[in-house]
A and B are shown apart, each in its own frame.
Chain A
Amino acid sequence: MDAIFLQILNGLDKGGAYALIALGLTLVFGTLGVVNFAHGAIFMMGAFCAVTVEKILTLSMRVRDESVTFFEAYKETPYLEVWFGDTGKAIIDWSVPLSIILAIPVMLLIGIVMERSLIRYFYKRPHAEQILVTFGLAIVLQELVKSFFGANPLPQGAPDIVSGSAAIGAVFGLGEAVVYPWWRLIYLAFSLVTIGLVFSFLHFTTYGMVVRAGMADRETVELLGINIERRFTIVFGIAAVVAGLAGVMYTPVLPPDYHLGMDFLVLSFVVVVVGGMGSLPGAVLAGFLLGILQSFSSMTEVKDIFPGIDQIIIYLVAVVILLTRPRGLMGRRGVMES
């Protein structure tokens, strides 16, 4: 029972990450009709926003350690700590949440620049070309990150106060032994809130409603004298922000490296397609579904019956769903079909 409860939590947590990435991907696809293979790279860039902030905050006076003279071993005390003492220390401790402040404008800018300078020329081009050009872009972005930050993962700590575990078992009447890391709970809450915000934006604001109308029938909306293209640009920016924030918040769970985006790329596409191309609720649903199934399939009890099932579960589910539901869980007819 405890084990199952924990696996559900694991699944939700994973699902939260999948859903956030898939949400942006499907938003871009639904509005602009662009298959964006660089979306994983955007997620990775978000994570590196956190790395950059941490690097800036921990800038330090470099003191050569005289006991080791033949190479530059430094004893480093960050300026922030030198200048502000404990306050400085606390700021460094909170660098990941603080990165969000930087990540929002930066990712919005990256998204808009990307859309204006490249993606918009590909609206009318075949999907294969969109895939290729964005894939090329993804490689370029990740290689640039690699040449700045190296290939080794760069650890980012959660703030001390939430780096421990919550005795969540007591809340659900499962006993004291059932604990779960605070940060992962925060991540889950964060993903739910973000998903909620995106949906409210699209459903309850006029701006969002126009965007949705544009998704359904672009020409009519344009005929009404609305500059739908500009709105779509903003939507692309928002998708980048969502993926970027997902990346920032994920750094304490997964120390980021330059290849992070590619690791998530295939997976996020499977999530989007299982959910149904262009369907936002579908993407979210599929994200959580695949996360939970992935967790359960890795339990020893399950693996004893189906050896290696945790290696293939994602793809197996994708095949089964696509064969029983031709357009994914919630896909519309005529999207991405010849």
Chain B
Amino acid sequence: MTNTKIVSPKQDLIFMAILSVVVLTMPIWLQPFGAAYPDLMQKFMIFGIFAIGYNILFGLTGYLSFGHAAFLGVGSYTAVWSFKLLSMNVIPALIFGTALSGLFALAIGFVSLRRSGIYFSILTLAFAQMSYNLAYSVLTPITNGETGLQLTQGDARVLDRMAGIEADASLPTPNLFGIEGIGYSGFYICAALLLISFFIYLRIFRSPFGLKLRAIKSNQNRMGYTGFSTRPYLMTAFVISGMYAGLAGSLLAVTDPLAGAERMQWTASGEVVLITILGGVGTLIGPLLGAGIIKYFENIFSAFNETVLLNAFSFLPDWLAHPVAAVVGLFVGEGWHLTLGLVFMLIVIFLPGGIMEGISRLARLITNRNKAEPKSGAHENKEKEQASAGEV
């Protein structure tokens, strides 16, 4: 696996450069996929940040948190409140969103990390569900419940008013000193933050700290015997990943200033688990791929309807086009959940290491063919990978 190899800092820089180019040119190369519109690309970035943060906890330490959506939600609510009370500038929103999520993660982590395994998972799930249920109902004065927290004309915006910026007739947009958080500029703000977050994440992966986290995953008891207290490391990892989630949540508010309670529901926590596993747990860029695929499904597959399908199959004779469209229609449009379920099953059954395993298998297949290596080596590799792919 890439992350266990010794990689020189120079290689990392090259890697970062390639990633930057790939990310920043998204509006061009996503065109053929019909995904090159700002909202979806922003979602790719934001859920990418969410997922790599989650990977720091789950991928490195193996602690399966089922409540990360709570941090996403706290980040969003804080950011929207920052827009309402302080300023439409995104910087305070991002700072407060990330910091408050960090604090929240500290509190939840302090309690939850007393347990491990599935007990840890259920504790995090319980906290997140409590947050969701309360945000939806009794905490409505803070969260605006079902409708979601929105900006209004009459918000205080103390800093903006002090600086003499008054909102005109239309609602103000979150901005970075004039660069708007919506549309393509919003995408570039998200992309920049993703690249920064990714760089930090890369450093964590390569650092001695990251190595200790991995050691916790492989054998926590042995770590204990060698005199390490694992709790502080776990705590740090948990808080960092909580802050990543908070940053992602704030960015959701930056690109679309509304914070809804559903962001904290267990299905949202489940989504990030699925994203990470789909892409490849513990791999560097796996979570980014996972985020891309899931969001693509949710936004593009769900939009196919009968008319679109009939158009797509118009090359077929009429008597055939209708039944074919009907069958395909089961899997797209209102049936997109079915496809999602099938994809999960297929990936987990055949590629337990996620898409990254698929890619590395493919790569091995090509190199093997070139070098005609003995097959047993590849096989061994695969087993090793499977063993470390997704332990709880």
Whether chain A touches chain B in the assembled complex (some CB pair under 8 Å): yes
Interface membership of A70, Cβ < 8 A: no
Whether A301 sits at the interface, judged by CB under 8 Å, is no
Whether A227 is near chain B, meaning CB under 8 Å from some CB there, is no
Cα separation A239 to B224 with both chains bound (whole Å) = 39
> Quick check: is A315 within 8 A (CB to CB) of the other chain?
yes
Q: What residues on A are CB-neighbors of B266 within 8 Å?
A: 266
Task: Note all chain B residues with C-beta closer than 8 A to A316.
Answer: 126, 130
A132 touches B111 (CB 8 A): no
A318 near B392 (CB under 8 angstroms)? no
Query: Is the beta-carbon distance between B114 and A323 smaller than 8 angstroms?
Result: yes
- A147 to B392: give the CA distance in the assembly, Å: 34
Residues of A within 8 A of B125 (CB): 266, 269-270, 315
Contacts of A198 in B (CB 8 A): none
A92 at the B interface (CB under 8 A) = no
Interface contact A137-B119, CB-CB below 8 Å = no
Of the candidates B130, B136, B220, B390, the one whose C-beta lies within 8 Å of that of A128 is B390
* Interface of A: prevailing SS: helix
- Nearest residue, chain B, Cβ from A140: B341
Is B352 within 8 A of A338, CB to CB?
A: no
Cα A277 to Cα B348 with chains together (Å): 24
Chain B interface main SS type: helix
CB atoms of B348 and A311 under 8 A apart = no
Most-contacted residue by chain B among A135, A311, A319 (CB, 10 A): A311
Cα A136 to Cα B278 with chains together (Å)? 12
Q: In chain B, what residue has the closest Cβ to A147?
A: B330
Cross-chain contact of B119 among A129, A143, A311, A327 (Cβ < 8 A): A327
Count of chain B residues with Cβ under 8 Å from any Cβ of A?
Answer: 47
Q: A interface, how many residues as a size bin?
A: 35 or more
Contact B119 A135 (CB under 8 A): no
Contact A135 B270 (CB under 8 A): yes
Interface-located stretch among B164-172, B187-195, B249-257, B332-340: B332-340
Q: Which residue of B lies closest to A312 (CB)?
A: B130
A98 at the interface (CB under 8 A from B): no
Instruction: Kindly supply a per-residue 1/0 record for chain B positions 132-157, scoring 1 wherever the CB is within 8 Å of any chain A CB and 0 otherwise.
Output: 01101110000000000000000000
User: Taking A270-B126, A319-B127, A338-B62 as contacts, is the C-beta distance between A139 and B392 under 8 angstroms?
Assistant: no
Select one of A118, A126, A318 contacting B126, CB under 8 A.
A318
- With contacts A147-B335, A269-B122, A277-B118 taken as known, whether A127 is within 8 angstroms of B345 at the C-beta atoms is no
| Contact status A135-B126, CB under 8 Å | no
- Contact check, B123 vs A319: say whether CB atoms are below 8 A apart: yes
CA distance A126 to B217 in the complex (A): 13
In angstroms, Cα B124 to Cα A315, docked, is 10
* Interface status of B349 (Cβ within 8 A of chain A): yes
Q: What residues on B are CB-neighbors of A336 within 8 Å?
A: 117-119, 392
The residue among A129, A133, A147, A277 with the most chain B CB atoms within 10 A of its own CB is: A129
**Quick one: which of B342-364 are within 8 Å of A by CB?**
342-345, 348-349, 352
0/1 string, B358-391, CB within 8 A of A gives 1: 0000000000000000000000000000000111
Q: Are B390 and A136 in contact (CB under 8 A)?
A: no
The residue that B342 contacts in the complex, of A35, A136, A142, with Cβ under 8 A, is: A136
Question: Which residues 100-119 of B sit at the A interface, judged by CB distance below 8 A?
Answer: 111, 114-119
Return chain A residues, CB-CB under 8 Å to B117. Answer: 336-338
Residue of A at shortest CB range from B342? A140
The answer, among B115, B335, B338, B352, for a CB contact under 8 Å with A125, is B352
Tell whether B129 is near chain A: CB-to-CB under 8 Å.
Answer: yes
> Which B residues are in CB contact (< 8 Å) with A273?
118-119, 122
A307 to B127, CA, bound (A): 17
Across the interface, A307 reaches (CB within 8 A) one of B123, B129, B138, B349, namely B138
Q: Which residues of B contact A126 (CB under 8 A)?
A: 389-392
B349 contacts A133, C-beta separation under 8 Å? yes
What are the residues of chain B within 8 A of A142 when measuring CB–CB? 337
Most buried by A among B117, B122, B270, B277: B122
**Besides A128-B390, A129-B352, A147-B338, 19 other A-B contacts (C-beta < 8 A):** A118-B345, A126-B392, A127-B118, A127-B392, A128-B277, A129-B389, A132-B274, A133-B349, A136-B348, A266-B125, A266-B129, A270-B125, A270-B126, A308-B138, A311-B134, A322-B119, A322-B123, A338-B220, A338-B391
Q: 12 A-B Cβ contacts within 8 A?
A: A127-B118, A129-B277, A132-B344, A138-B341, A144-B338, A147-B330, A266-B125, A266-B266, A308-B138, A319-B126, A336-B119, A337-B117
Residue positions of A touching B, CB distance < 8 A: 35, 118, 121, 125-129, 132-133, 135-140, 142-144, 147, 266, 269-270, 273, 277, 307-308, 311-312, 315-316, 318-319, 322-323, 326-328, 336-338
